[in-house]
Structure 1
Amino acid sequence: MPRTKTWNFYDYGTYHIVKNDYRQNNGVQYYFTGDGSIATGWQSINNDLVYFDGSTYHKVIALSDLGSNLSSTQKYFFESVIPGAIAGWHEYGVIPSITIAQAIIESGWGQSYLSTAAHNLFGIKGTYNGNSITLPTQEYNGYQYVTIYAAFRAYDNNSESIQDHGAFLKYNSRYNNLLGDSNYVSVANKIRLDGYATDPAYSTSLISMVQTYGLNILDALQ
Structure 2
Amino acid sequence: MDKRVKKRRRRNTKKRKINRVFFFSVIFIVFLSLIFNKNKDRNYSEPVDYRDEYINMAKPIAIKVAKKYDLFPSVVLAQSALESSWGTSGLSSDYNNYFGIKSNSSSNSKDLMTSEFVKGKEIKINQPFREYTSINESFEHYGLLIGTAPRYEAVRDAKDYKQAAYAIKKCGYATDPKYAEKIIIIIESHDLDELD
- Report the TM-score when normalising by structure 1: 0.63
Greater helix share, 1 or 2? 2
**What amino acid is the match of 1:158?**
I
Does the 8 Å contact 1:188/1:207 carry over to 2?
A: yes
Aligned mate of 2:79, from 89, 92, 102: 102
The structural deviation recorded for 1:103 is 1.0
Hey, what does 2:122 align to over in structure 1?
A: 145
Give 1:188 shift. 0.8
Which sections of structure 2, spanning at least 5 residues, go unmatched?
Answer: 1-45
Cα RMSD, aligned residues only? 2.1
Where do 5+ consecutive residues of structure 1 fail to align?
A: 1-68
Q: In the TM superposition, what is the alpha-carbon distance from 1:156 to its structure 2 partner?
A: 1.2
CA displacement at 1:170 relative to structure 2:
1.9
**Residue-pair matches, total:** 151
* More displaced 10-residue stretch of structure 1: 176-185 or 91-100: 176-185
Change (3 A) 1:75 1:208: closer
Shift of 1:81: 1.3
Larger relative contact order, structure 1 or 2 (CA cutoff 8 Å, min sep 6): 2
Identity across matched positions, percent: 32
Report if the CA contact (8 A) 2:58-2:77 is conserved: yes
Alpha carbons of structure 1 residues 92 and 119: separation in structure 2 relative to 1, 3 Å: same
1:176 to 153, 159, 162: 153
Which has the higher Rg, Structure 1 or Structure 2? 2
User: TM (normalized to structure 2)?
Assistant: 0.71
* Offset of residue 127 of structure 1: 5.8
Runs of 4+ displaced beyond 6 Å: none
Q: Which amino acid aligns with 2:126?
A: Y
User: CA distance change for structure 1 residues 212 and 70 in 2, over 3 Å: closer, same or farther?
Assistant: farther
Distance 1:156 1:91 in 2: 20
Name the counterpart of 2:63.
86
The structure with the largest strand share of the pair is 1
